[in-house]
Chain A
Amino acid sequence: DAMVIQNPRYQVTQFGKPVTLSCSQTLNHNVMYWYQQKSSQAPKLLFHYYDKDFNNEADTPDNFQSRRPNTSFCFLDIRSPGLGDAAMYLCATSRDAQSTDTQYFGPGTRLTVL
């Protein structure tokens, strides 16, 4: 089945220790997104890739970076995690970037910062 996969499902890191979260998709979608969702809050878009074009949200901290080496994979790098970065990180994909293009989400990676 076509799907969005995130690894790992749970990640524990230490304060200030770089961490990378992974997302892959078998849908062959053009657009990949990374959202941050803190407890009892709405998912917040960090950035997205349209093909190879990177689009950062204005309020995304510089601590968060992303890479998309090919259509299928996208990575979220947190250079120096702080306690406030503990959250669920959700990857999503869509065929295109129009209003009618549904975003399909992966199961998420829950990040704990010690």
Chain B
Amino acid sequence: SQELEQSPQSLIVQEGKNLTINCTSSKTLYGLYWYKQKYGEGLIFLMMLQKGGEEKSHEKITAKLDEKKQQSSLHITASQPSHAGIYLCGADRGSNYKLTFGKGTLLTVNP
């Protein structure tokens, strides 16, 4: 069974629109990572959240972790074609080294 559920699986937006991607777990997360992956390439680290209620921003991307530490959201403001790619959440479930990943959300931004 999939331990980290990401929604939506894919998303197509018009340039300039805002969007949100969600990552949900049935178990408490000890560390929640967001990565971006261009097709056929490696993962680029975006942000890491650890504390319940934590929120971080970088440029136009904001990530939040809920108080119960079971759900995270990634919000992109005023999307651009450069935001296109696959967004993956990865979580540490307390085993330290091991990250469990969601299947990813494919984002397309149309000019």
A residues adjacent to B (C-beta < 8 A): 4, 6, 31, 33, 40-43, 45, 48, 50, 55, 88, 90, 92, 94, 97-100, 102-108, 110
26 contacts between A and B (CB under 8 A): A31-B97, A33-B97, A42-B2, A42-B103, A42-B104, A43-B43, A48-B97, A50-B97, A88-B40, A90-B42, A92-B43, A94-B97, A97-B96, A97-B97, A98-B96, A99-B31, A99-B50, A99-B94, A100-B48, A102-B45, A102-B48, A103-B33, A103-B45, A105-B45, A108-B40, A108-B41
CB-nearest residue of chain A relative to B4? A42
B residues adjacent to A (C-beta < 8 A): 2, 4, 30-31, 33, 35, 40-45, 48, 50, 88, 90, 92, 94, 96-104
Name the distance in Å between B30's Cβ and chain A's nearest Cβ. 5
8 further contact pairs, Cβ within 8 A, besides A42-B102, A103-B45, A108-B40: A42-B88, A42-B100, A45-B98, A98-B96, A99-B30, A99-B50, A99-B96, A108-B42
CB-nearest residue of chain A relative to B45? A102
Find chain B residues with CB under 8 A from A31 CB.
97
CB-nearest residue of chain A relative to B47? A102
CA A88 to CA B42, docked complex, whole Å: 9
Find chain A residues with CB under 8 A from B88 CB.
42-43
